[in-house]
Amino acid sequence: MKAVRVHDYHADPKIDDIDEPRLQGPLDVIVKVGGAGVCRTDLHILEGQWAAAMNPQLPYVIGHENAGWVHAVGDGVTNVAVGDTVILHPQPSCGLCLACRRGNDMHCAAAFFPGLSDNDGGMAEYLRTTARACVKLDPATNPADVAALADAGITAYHAVRKAVPVLWPGTTAVVQGAGGLGHIGIQCLAALTATRIVVVDRNPAALELAREIGADETVVADGSHVDAVKDLTGGEGATVVFDFVAEQGAENDAWQMVAPDGHQYVIGYGGQFSAPTLDFVAGEKNVIGNIVGTYTDLAELMVLAQAGKVTLHTKQYPLDAALDALHDLDAGRVRGRAILVP
């Protein structure tokens, strides 16, 4: 099969011909990939940012946002069958450790992460995962239309879902960064809460999209955006700021936009957050990290997606054009999410 593989860091991946994956255990599932999302994390992988944390053996196949059709199942699989349309939780988990028993999939003691850890991902024609990672979809669903919900979607939903208890009517939520994750976060906020949604981004096209999908106010990130958010909130700041950027100073801008007793949800990464400890104490502000989400988060998100309440805005590329997709994402030319279609 054809697959996009990293051979060296700080270099473009290559499109190789490799063997198809095989079943290795009774709960394994082989999926024929119908769509693989292209994520900014994939750019970070190519830069070597995840090498120390995941230590994969090179070369390996990237791609951690995947949906498709079940191609083969192990002897112990009962929840899906060959031919089923599925979206895949990005991190298959064991189901037996304490984290799994609590429903905290992302902290499973025995998990693996296709496309990041030492396991091939889904920028290929076929992918090996497990039964626990499969969420069955309506057979009419086109996997390419939903693939990026497997990571970008679940990550945005997970953060919004955690913040729902404090986003009652009359509150304000700021979404900083309306790109691949942020545009999903906006729709999740609109679907789950009655908060006023303010979107901050430096890209006018992203702000235009934000207005179309649920933003009440938009602010251009031109250096005066912190003051603009303060003006929109009577000088107080927002109840919650969802920072989908969190680099190049945006992480500290987010802190300045948070109201006293407010919450900063950090979803993007790459920057360095810094704030005086007195601000934490006197303002009683909270900073909360977010990593992907749980299986139930993904299942709930798919209910919203199949009801038309969360829609991915995508640009599709054939698998052979993977380098074009990665370069377009890096250059800011993708509106919404890039999707590879084998």
Predicted confidence at residue 52, as pLDDT, reads 85
pLDDT in tens, 274-304: 999 998 899 999 999 999 999 999 999 999 9
Token reading at 283: 């303002």
Residues 28 and 10 in one domain: yes
Kind plus residue range of the DSSP H or E element containing 327: helix 322-330
Whether 207 shows a pLDDT value over 90: the answer reads yes
pLDDT per position as a tens digit, 34-55: 999 999 899 999 999 999 888 8
Centroid of chain to Cα 210: 17
pTM above 0.75, yes or no: yes
Domain boundary at 289, 307, 329, which? 289
190 plus 231 within the same structural domain? yes
Domain shared by 323 and 236, yes or no: no
Report percent pLDDT > 70 for the chain. 100
pLDDT tens for 81-105 read 999 999 999 999 999 999 999 999 8
For the CA atoms of 118, 122, 124, 128, what is the dihedral angle to 10 degrees? 70
Q: Cα separation of 273 and 61, whole Å?
A: 32
Q: CA-to-CA distance for 92 and 126, rounded, in angstroms?
A: 16
- DSSP strand pairing (28-38 vs 60-61): unpaired
Predicted local confidence at residue 160, as pLDDT: 98
168 and 280 together in one domain: yes
CATH of the domain at 207: 3.40.50.720
Give CA–CA dist 342/38, Å, rounded: 13
Whole-number pLDDT of residue 313: 84
Tell me what pLDDT residue 105 has.
87
d(CA 88, CA 90): 6
Say yes or no to pLDDT of 261 above 90.
Answer: yes
- Beta sheet of 2-6, edge-to-edge order: 14-17, 2-6, 60-61
Q: Which range has the worst mean pLDDT, 213-227, 245-259, 268-282?
A: 268-282
Specify whether 16 is located in the same domain as 141.
yes
- Rounded Cα–Cα distance for residues 135 and 299 (Å): 7
- The residue-averaged pLDDT of 212-222 equals 97
What is the chain's percent helix, strand, coil content, to nearest 5? Answer: 30, 25, 40
DSSP SS3 for 73: strand
Q: What is the average pLDDT score of the chain?
A: 95
Tokens of 116: 């990041």
pLDDT tens-digit profile of 100-122? Answer: 999 998 999 999 999 999 899 99
CATH number of the domain encompassing residue 53: 3.90.180.10
Question: Quick count: other Cβ atoms within 10 Å of Cβ 17?
Answer: 7
Asked if 16 and 139 sit in the same domain, the reply is yes
**Same domain assignment for residues 277 and 171:** yes
Q: Using a pLDDT cut of 90, give the percent of the chain over it.
A: 91
* Nearest CA among 61, 1, 76, 74 for reference residue 32: 1
Does the pLDDT of residue 335 top 80, yes or no?
no
Looking at 274, 289, 304, which one is the last position of a domain? 289
On whether both 282 and 300 belong to a single domain, the answer is: no
Single-letter residue type at 304: L
Q: 226 and 182, same structural domain? A: yes
Do 89 and 206 sit in the same domain of this protein?
no
End of a domain among 289, 310, 330?
289
The number of folded domains in the chain is 2
* 108 DSSP assignment: -
List C-alpha distances in Å: 121 to 7, 32, 34, 136, 277.
Answer: 14, 12, 13, 19, 41
Bridge partner list, 318: 341
Q: Are residues 179 and 147 in the same domain?
A: no
Higher pLDDT, residue 312 or 163: 163
- 196: which strand partners? 172
Mean per-residue pLDDT, 211-219: 97
In this structure, the answer to whether residues 146 and 183 fall within a common structural domain is no
Give the C-alpha distances (Å, rounded to integers) separating 205 from 36, 175, 180: 24, 15, 13
Find the domain containing 34 and state its range.
2-151+292-340
